[in-house]
Amino acid sequence: MVGAPACGDVMKLQIKVNPATGVIEDARFKTYGCGSAIASSSLVTEWVKGKTLDEAAALKNSQIAEELALPPVKIHCSILAEDAIKAAVDDYKKKHAH
């Protein structure tokens, strides 16, 4: 779970990974915040499906902001989404380290 102290938005992203292939099969989110934060979360869950953990972690907030045409005042929402996917990938890797 990640949050943005500046605005109070909170985002939680969960991923389901195929252990044999390392590919994300499903992703879900729970976001408390403005419409831009919710849209950023939703977009990320769609984008990461079918990607490897490393591909998902490589997503940049600028890609999210561009796709959603976020205004400058809402860029922090795309940063939050980038942080959320990185946190989900890191959490998965920690729990499944060999």
Domain total of the chain:
1
Active-site residue, from 24, 38, 64, 77: 77
What is the pTM (predicted TM-score) of this model? 0.89
Angle at 94 between CA 81 and CA 18, to 5 degrees: 75
Q: What is the CATH number of the domain that holds 49?
A: 3.90.1010.10
| Domain interval for residue 12 | 2-95
Each residue of 13-67: pLDDT tens digit? 999 999 999 999 999 999 998 999 999 999 999 999 999 999 999 999 999 999 9
User: Is 34 tagged catalytic?
Assistant: no
Q: Please list, in sequence order, all residues whose beta carbon lies within 8 angstroms of the beta carbon of residue 21, skipping any fewer than 6 positions away.
A: 52
Q: Is-contact 63 49, C-beta < 8 A?
A: no
Active-site residue, from 3, 4, 7, 86: 7
Structure tokens given for 86: 């990185």
